[in-house]
């Protein structure tokens, strides 16, 4: 039997490369060998990284060259009271983060939301996108290609959907720039985040387009998708779930629990989240939605790089007719799933279970919808809490106390 020491020796001797070790030993031994390689070369002790709580083989779909696990503190806040299109009832929200004061902030927000009877949430648009780019002979052929695509949607749909048991092609939006044609395919991917499903399905549709037209595929992603980049196309048109949450809070609650007034919060939201972001040339008109998104993504096995699009959010605040406070948050492009990807890993699966949203929903897609709504409510709570904190001017002291 090959030992980790043997493998590490062979890497040192140039016989093996570090990504080849799983071919020569089980996954845990391979990970141990890699740690040895790094420890020998750098003198670092990787014991803490080695202290992971799952068989390395289970992480095979999620990582290569594994050496162990990063451990990120996880906590819960809530319960969050949610009246959603899919979510309904009380939820503890799991968050994993290293950002001190974040859970305290969200928890405070949820507490106030709860006192006000809970938050409402709705998914208002849905669709995972992939946008290949084709080379054509010029703008005349570009126009012909666009026309062909418009006339042959059914053909493309059949090709795309043949690759998936769940996914449905919702539409194809064309964009022409000179001799490049971009086709933004949008899919209903049910409870999966759906990036891979969309990629594979679109690949099949691209084969049809190449066979039937003169267009040549340049790249299966032409950045009009747009994945993991800050992009207006997502902020405007949505990607994954477009989800909104809101709450109406009585004036008395704002004053007693948040130590500020509805008017102060409205003013801060306008000058900071609306006008400040406007002046900053931003696609994010909020205070710190990305914090809740990142922490709930980590805790539930979502793709951390998609926090980028998760930050495409607008927070609004108004006074109500009876002197209370209305606050909403609308996330344009929240890409989430409750199956596939990182959701199968043990701690992440547990995170989803805390929410009662692990695996496929009934009907299909409802678990991912509910997850989106739960994240939106978490983000709403964070917004409310930070706006209130700014209102009472203790942002820096809160960080001084809790942050470091």
Residues 360-399 interacting with its own copies (rule: CB under 8 A): 390, 393, 395-396, 399
Round to whole Å and give the CA distance between 133 and 207: 13
| Residue 14 engages its own copies in binding (rule: CB under 8 A) | no
Residues 317 and 327 sit within 8 Å (Cβ to Cβ) = yes
323: contact with its own copies by CB under 8 A: no
Find the shortest distance in angstroms from Cβ 80 to its own copies: 12
- The answer to whether 99 touches 295, Cβ cutoff 8 Å, is yes
Identity of the residue, 1 or 195, whose beta carbon is nearer to its own copies in the bound complex: 195
Q: Please count the other Cβ atoms lying within 10 Å of the Cβ belonging to residue 288.
A: 22
Q: Give the C-alpha separation, 335 to 342, whole Å.
A: 13
Q: Is 92 in the site for its own copies (CB under 8 A)?
A: yes
Nearest distance, CB of residue 137 and its own copies, angstroms: 10
How far from 109 is each of 103, 119, 254, 269, 377, CA to CA, in Å? 10, 11, 11, 16, 10
d(CA 15, CA 22): 14
Q: How far apart are CA 369 and CA 252, in angstroms?
A: 33
Shortest Å, Cβ 369 to its own copies: 11
With CB under 8 A as the contact rule, which of the stretches 6-14, 153-161, 282-290, 364-372 interacts with its own copies? Answer: 282-290
* 328, 366, 367, 385: which one binds its own copies (CB under 8 A): 328
Task: Give the C-alpha separation, 243 to 369, whole Å.
Answer: 9
- In the region spanning residues 23 to 82, those forming contacts with its own copies, defined by CB under 8 A, are 34, 38, 41-42, 44-49, 51-54, 59-77
Sites for its own copies among residues 293-322 (CB under 8 A): 293-295, 297-299, 301, 303-308, 311-312, 314, 316, 318
Which is the catalytic residue, given 27, 166, 394, 399? 399
Exposure pattern of 380-399 as b/e (b: 16+ CB <10 Å)? bbbbbbbbbbbbeeeeeebe
The residue (of 16 and 69) whose beta carbon lies closer to its own copies is: 69
Burial of 170 (0-12, 13-18, 19+ CB in 10 A): middle
Q: Is 399 a catalytic residue?
A: yes
As a residue count, the chain comes to: 404
Looking at 1, 23, 154, 281, which residue binds its own copies (CB under 8 A)? 281
Pick from 141, 185, 183, 143: nearest CA to 160: 185
Nearer to its own copies, 1 or 96 (CB): 96
Of 348, 366, 367, 385, which lies in the binding site for its own copies, with binding defined by CB under 8 A? 348
Give the interface segment with its own copies, choosing from 7-15, 154-162, 199-207, 251-259 (CB under 8 A). 199-207
Nearer of residues 1 and 233 to its own copies, judged by Cβ: 233
Q: Which residues contact 5 (CB under 8 A, 6 or more apart)?
A: 33, 36
d(CA 2, CA 26) in angstroms, rounded, equals 9
* Site membership for its own copies, residue 211 (CB under 8 A): no
In the complex with its own copies, which residue's Cβ is closer, 157 or 198? 198
- Of 29, 126, 213, 330, which lies in the binding site for its own copies, with binding defined by CB under 8 A? 330
d(CA 132, CA 135): 10
- Closest separation between CB of residue 16 and its own copies, Å? 14
Tell which one of 213, 260, 347, 367 touches its own copies (CB under 8 A).
347
Largest CA distance in the chain: 76
Active-site annotation holds for 24: no
- Give me 334's structure tokens: 């929240």
Minimum Å gap between C-beta 308 and its own copies is 5
Least Å distance between CB 183 and its own copies?
11
Q: Does 138 bind its own copies (CB under 8 A)?
A: yes
CA dihedral 388, 392, 393, 399 (to 10 degrees): -60
Q: Is 141 a catalytic residue?
A: no
Which one of the spans 7-15, 129-137, 254-262, 361-369 is the region binding its own copies (CB under 8 A)? 129-137
Which residues does the annotation mark as catalytic?
99, 303, 399
């Amino acid at each position: 039997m090959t030992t980790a020491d043997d493998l590490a020796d062979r890497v040192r001797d140039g016989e093996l490369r570090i990504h080849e070790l799983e071919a020569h030993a089980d996954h845990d031994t391979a990970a141990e060998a890699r740690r040895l390689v790094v420890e020998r070369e750098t003198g670092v002790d990787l014991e803490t990284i080695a202290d992971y709580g799952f068989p390395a083989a289970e992480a095979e779909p999620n990582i290569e060259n594994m050496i162990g696990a990063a451990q990120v503190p996880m906590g819960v806040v809530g319960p969050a009271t949610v009246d959603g299109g899919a979510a309904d009832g009380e939820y503890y929200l799991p968050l994993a983060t290293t950002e001190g004061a974040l859970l305290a902030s969200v928890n405070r927000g949820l507490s106030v939301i709860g006192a006000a009877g809970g938050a409402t949430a709705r998914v208002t648009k849905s669709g995972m996108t992939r946008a290949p780019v084709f080379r054509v002979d010029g703008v005349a052929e570009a126009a012909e290609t666009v026309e062909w695509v418009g006339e042959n949607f059914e053909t493309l749909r059949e090709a795309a959907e043949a690759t998936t048991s769940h996914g449905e092609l919702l539409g194809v939006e064309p964009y022409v720039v000179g001799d490049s044609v971009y086709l933004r395919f949008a899919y209903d991917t049910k409870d999966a985040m759906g990036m891979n499903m969309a990629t594979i399905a679109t690949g099949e549709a691209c084969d049809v387009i190449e066979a039937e037209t003169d267009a040549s595929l340049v790249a299966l992603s032409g950045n009009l998708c747009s994945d993991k980049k800050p992009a207006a196309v997502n902020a405007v048109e949505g990607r994954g779930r477009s989800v909104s949450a809101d709450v109406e809070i009585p004036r008395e609650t704002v004053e007693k629990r948040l130590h500020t007034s509805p008017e102060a919060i409205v003013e801060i939201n306008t000058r900071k989240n609306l006008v400040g972001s406007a002046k900053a040339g931003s696609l994010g008109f909020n205070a710190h939605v990305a914090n809740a998104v990142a922490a709930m993504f980590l805790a539930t096995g979502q793709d951390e790089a998609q926090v980028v699009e998760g930050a495409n959010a607008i927070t609004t605040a108004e006074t109500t007719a009876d002197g209370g406070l209305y606050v909403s948050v609308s996330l344009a492009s929240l890409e989430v799933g409750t199956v596939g990807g990182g959701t199968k890993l043990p701690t992440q699966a547990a995170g989803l279970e805390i929410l009662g949203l692990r695996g496929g929903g009934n009907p299909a897609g409802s678990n991912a919808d509910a997850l989106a709504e739960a994240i939106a409510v978490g983000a709403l709570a964070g917004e409310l809490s930070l706006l209130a904190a700014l209102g009472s001017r203790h942002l820096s002291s809160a960080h001084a106390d809790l942050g470091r």
